[in-house]
Chain A
């Protein structure tokens, strides 16, 4: 197949020896392809990445006990129903009325690691608490009791009075526990009115096992998926009643849909304009070679073979540009993802053939028209003119 060899030889010669021109064309195709693959990756990644941002709003699912009491085991059983990759965090809360200086305050026992994940908006001056007598105090409480971080305070708890045989209330001593205030909590919400300690500390203080009042969960998933989880947990886990925090989920759905639509539209507009840019460049590249086309016709090339050669060249350019573009596009999307969301993007293998095929198609179609019009030209005119 000598003929094919010559075909390939001509195309490579054209690409290699007209290097500067071809690089210009290649560059423009590669940019088009970069924009295509980059923006499409971003488009597909936005819901996931932005969804993670929306988790800043805090818990979007809560567990409550079906009969008013909820055990830690039940919470964990409920959590197990959720895909661990989507579960951002979970925090159980147990509320008890305690006293500081004999003034009543609500104490919440919780898991500090969980809270930091479910309520990332909490602002703590000082440091977070962990177990072992450490306390986080809401800003309002801190203000009224003039508590600063580093203070050591006593917290007391009055156990439920028990009736003795005679029906009279037995006198019960208050439980005391000494805590170190690790930090002051600011949220701008009702959380500022509570004090926070670990579940173990609260159990020690109250002297009773108690039960979880509510567990907050932050799940990075769409509205429908969340509803599916709710159904699965409510029907599958005994003793747990799961519900969505409507304020968070409903708003997230509205905003996220808009954001995705925004990126989609921007992608379409940018892509359309870029494709036209590629097309004009290819038109210019081909138009420049009218004379050469005339010469080839003069020495006996048929229209078909000219179209074949030039299209072969354009499509090869499209292939190279597309391949280059899909790599650059991935790099771009990765950079965007790291800079904007500080997380990496997953590589989508499907995008490579899509980008390559799209850029071949765009370059092919945009060169076809000028090539066709060039083959209509009388070779004599081209060779004489200019």
Chain B
């Protein structure tokens, strides 16, 4: 009989129940959309922030300092280098998936025919790598220096092997000074060799790089007889904003307890990624680039906090909306409940009946709303970031619990009122 009664309400009062289900669905969709976006916004914004370039630099351990110092003074060469053949290892660390991009650099001071001193930088442009893990990776300055603009010509294409070894990208200021156009040739003499280079393109970096020449890594290495050597690696990684723990760990990982150590290594802090890079690259020092890492942290945490607050507001809105309607629609049934009481229904059974009806409605509304909300999240993801919002399993229980609590709370005052009814009053139409 109990089920018959519930079925009766659901089917015969389907319009009213549909409205409750609809409101619950709206609330649930709002909640799940906002939660999905909120949980994913960190990753998405992080990805966007990669336009600022590398947030980790790796330099040789020994005298990493003095190399640059001497460079200023006499353009000399310090003895320490990183090994080119180890570069692939960066993609084998625990946080390999967080490493979006990286490129090696080797600086060689050269002289041009007219005696102008220029710095030639060897690097990757669109380097294609087959990793030991079986994956492939395309990395290099084209993506790492996304703010560079190509003024004339074309980017140096590493895949065209025949052509690229002698090709050079020339900074805009240098090109202007030497009056170079794409297709021109220029002769550079490095410490170890001379080379005839062809200008492939001219770039505008908006910084000191505009006075430099960018070459393919092995071309630059051959100029200074530095085969297999790398001055510096720049890594662009998705990181978690630093906190007290990560800063302590960065200074001295051995000061952490085992549990803290575990938290640290299992969180994508810039410092823990640095630590792992140091372990795979021989004699290296990896350090976060404060300018990028700190700002990323600030912007990320602000964005996340902003989204959390907006989410909370919309959750409150959704909750109150559901509460309102449930209360209103349960109260409407005063007469029916009065009749049931007159027929001898116990308070408990009435409460149970009403709750069951609402619970069934809520389940339908909640499930529908969840999927609709996920759709909204995708809409936001695709419109704003051009990629899908990841479906987080944790959204499901949160939304479910929320819907249950909210509908229950919404029904409590109404049920209380219904239980307090005196059948005579109701039936006499007061």
Binding site for B on A (CB under 8 A): 21, 24-25, 27-28, 31-32, 34-35, 38-39, 42, 46, 49-50, 53-54, 56-58, 97, 103-106, 119-123, 140-141, 143-144, 186-190, 192-193, 243-248, 250-251, 254-255, 258-259, 261-263, 265-266, 269-270, 273-274, 276-278, 280-281, 283-285, 288, 332, 335-336, 339-341, 386
Given contacts A21-B328, A244-B206, A340-B305, contact A270 B321 (CB under 8 A): no
Tell me if A31 and B320 are in contact (CB < 8 A): yes
The residue in B51, B64, B332 that gathers the most chain A C-beta atoms within 10 A of its C-beta is B51
Cα A54 to Cα B298 in complex, Å, equals 8
- Is A104 in contact with B317, judged by CB distance below 8 angstroms? no
Contact of A28 among B19, B70, B294, B324 (CB under 8 A): B324
CA–CA, A330 to B328, complex, Å? 29
| Sample of 8 further A-B pairs with CB below 8 A, known A283-B19, A288-B328, A339-B305 | A42-B310, A141-B65, A254-B51, A258-B385, A273-B314, A280-B26, A284-B19, A340-B306
List residues of chain B with CB within 8 A of the CB of A273: 26-27, 29-30, 314, 318
Is the pair A187, B384 in contact by a Cβ cutoff of 8 Å?
no
Q: How far is the CB of A6 from chain B (nearest CB, A)?
A: 25
Chain A: minimal CB distance from B141 (Å): 12
27 contacts between A and B (CB under 8 A): A27-B324, A31-B320, A38-B313, A42-B306, A56-B294, A105-B69, A122-B290, A144-B66, A188-B56, A188-B290, A189-B289, A192-B65, A193-B69, A243-B206, A246-B147, A246-B204, A251-B49, A254-B51, A258-B384, A259-B303, A262-B380, A273-B27, A274-B317, A281-B328, A285-B328, A336-B306, A341-B302
CB–CB A340/B302 < 8 A: yes
Chain A residues positioned under 8 Å from B22 (CB to CB):
280
Provide the bound-state CA to CA distance between A103 and B291, in Å.
Answer: 28
Task: Give the residue name and chain of the B residue nearest to A28 (CB).
Answer: B324
Q: Is B73 in contact with A104, judged by CB distance below 8 angstroms?
A: yes
List the 7 closest pairs (A to B, CB-CB), nearest first. Answer: A246-B206, A140-B65, A277-B321, A56-B295, A251-B51, A188-B289, A121-B294
**How far apart are the CA atoms of A251 and B45 in the complex, in Å?**
12
Q: Which residues of B contact A188 (CB under 8 A)?
A: 56-57, 287-291, 293
What residues of A have a CB within 8 angstroms of the CB of B293 in the complex?
Answer: 121, 188
Given contacts A38-B313, A193-B69, A285-B328, contact A251 B207 (CB under 8 A): no
Question: Given the complex of chains A and B, what is the CA–CA distance between A104 and B295 in angstroms?
Answer: 32
In the complex, chain B residues whose CB is within 8 Å of the CB of A386: 335
Interface status of B155 (Cβ within 8 A of chain A): no
Question: What is the distance, in angstroms, from A94's C-beta to the closest C-beta of chain B?
Answer: 15
In the docked arrangement, what's the CA distance between A143 and B23, Å?
A: 64
Partner of B68, one of A46, A53, A140: A140
Question: Is B295 in contact with A245, judged by CB distance below 8 angstroms?
Answer: no
Give the interface centre of B37, B302, B335 by most chain A CB atoms within 10 Å: B302
- Judged by a CB distance under 8 angstroms, whether B52 is at the interface is yes
- What chain A residues lie within 8 Å of B26 (beta carbons)? 273, 276-277, 280
Which of B34, B68, B206, B332 is the most central at the interface, judged by chain A CB atoms within 10 Å of its CB? B206
Check if B309 is an interface residue, CB within 8 A of chain A. Answer: yes
CB-based contact B33/A261 at 8 Å? no
A205 to B293, CA, bound (A): 35
Q: Are B68 and A284 in contact (CB under 8 A)?
A: no
Chain B positions within 8 Å of A, measured between CB atoms, are: 19, 22-23, 26-27, 29-30, 33-34, 37, 41, 45, 48-49, 51-53, 56-57, 63-66, 68-70, 72-73, 145-149, 204-207, 287-295, 298-299, 302-303, 305-307, 309-310, 313-314, 316-318, 320-321, 324-325, 327-329, 332, 335, 376, 379-380, 383-385
Q: Who on chain B is nearest to A342 by CB?
A: B302
Residues on the A chain within 8 Å of B72, using CB: 97, 104, 106, 193
Bound-state CA distance A28–B289 (Å) is 49
Q: Does B45 lie within 8 Å of A259, measured CB to CB? A: yes
Let me know if B290 and A189 touch, CB within 8 A.
yes
Residues of A within 8 A of B379 (CB): 265, 269
Bound complex: CA A144 to CA B64 (Å): 9
Q: Complex: how many Å from CA A189 to CA B302?
A: 24
- Expressed in whole angstroms, the minimum distance between the Cβ of A91 and any Cβ of chain B is 14
**For the complex, what is the distance from the CA of A259 to the CA of B73, rounded to whole Å?**
44
When the two chains form their complex, are residues A266 and B303 in contact, meaning their CB atoms are under 8 A apart? no
Are B307 and A32 in contact (CB-based, < 8 A)? no
Tell me the nearest residue of chain A to B68, going by C-beta.
A193
- Interface residues of A: mostly helix, strand, loop or mixed? helix
When chains A and B are docked, how far (Å) is the Cα of A276 from the Cα of B73? 70
CB-CB under 8 A from B324, the residues of chain A are 24-25, 27-28, 281, 284
Q: How far is the CA of A258 from the CA of B57 in the complex (A)?
A: 27
- Residues on B with C-beta less than 8 A from A261 are 383-384
Of A35, A143, A245, A332, which one neighbours B206 at CB under 8 angstroms? A245
Q: Quick check: B287 and A24 within 8 Å, CB to CB?
A: no
By the criterion CB–CB under 8 Å, are A262 and B41 in contact?
Answer: yes
Residue of A whose beta carbon sits closest to that of B57:
A188
**What chain B residues lie within 8 Å of A46 (beta carbons)?**
306
Which residue on chain B has the smallest CB distance to residue A265? B380
| Contact A32-B65, Cβ < 8 Å, known A21-B328, A186-B290, A259-B303 | no
A259 to B299, CA, bound (A): 10
Alpha-carbon gap, A336 to B321, bound state (A): 22
Give A28 to B37 CA distance when docked, in angstroms. Answer: 24
Q: Which residues of B contact A288 (CB under 8 A)?
A: 328, 332
A37 to chain B, nearest CB (A): 11
CA distance A259 to B335 in the complex (A): 52
Q: What are the residues of chain B within 8 A of A284 when measuring CB–CB?
A: 19, 324-325, 328-329
Decide if B69 touches A246 in the complex (CB within 8 Å): no
- Residues of chain A within 8 A of B146, CB atoms compared: 250-251
Contact B318 A266 (CB under 8 A): no
Contact assessment for A336 and B309 in the assembled complex, using a CB-CB cutoff below 8 Å? yes
Chain B proximity of A142: nearest CB distance (Å): 9
CA gap between A243 and B172 in the complex, in Å: 14
Contact of B289 among A141, A143, A187, A259 (CB under 8 A): A187
B319 nearest in chain A by CB position: A31
**Least Cβ–Cβ distance between B4 and chain A, in angstroms:** 22
Roughly how many angstroms separate A35 CA and B65 CA in the complex, as a whole number? 54
Chain B residues within 8 Å of A263, by CB: 306, 310
Shortest beta-carbon distance, B131 to chain A, in Å? Answer: 26
Partner of B309, one of A56, A140, A340: A340
B29 → chain A, closest Cβ, in Å? Answer: 7
Closest to A268 in B: B380
Which residue on A lies nearest to B204, using beta carbons? A246
Please state if B320 and A28 are interface contacts (CB–CB under 8 Å): yes
* Known A-B contacts A56-B295, A186-B290, A244-B206; A254 and B48 likewise in contact (beta carbons under 8 Å): yes
Cβ–Cβ contact A258 & B294, under 8 A:
no
| Nearest-CB residue, chain A, relative to B52 | A251
Docked CA distance A196–B41 (Å): 39
* Contact, CB under 8 Å: B303 / A57: no
List of B residues within 8 angstroms of A285 by Cβ: 328
Complex formed: what's the CA distance from A54 to B30 in Å?
30
Chain B residues within 8 Å of A244, by CB: 206
Report yes or no: A274 in contact with B290, Cβ–Cβ below 8 A.
Answer: no
Least Cβ distance of A216 to chain B in Å? 12
Cβ of B329: which chain A residues have Cβ within 8 Å of it?
Answer: 284
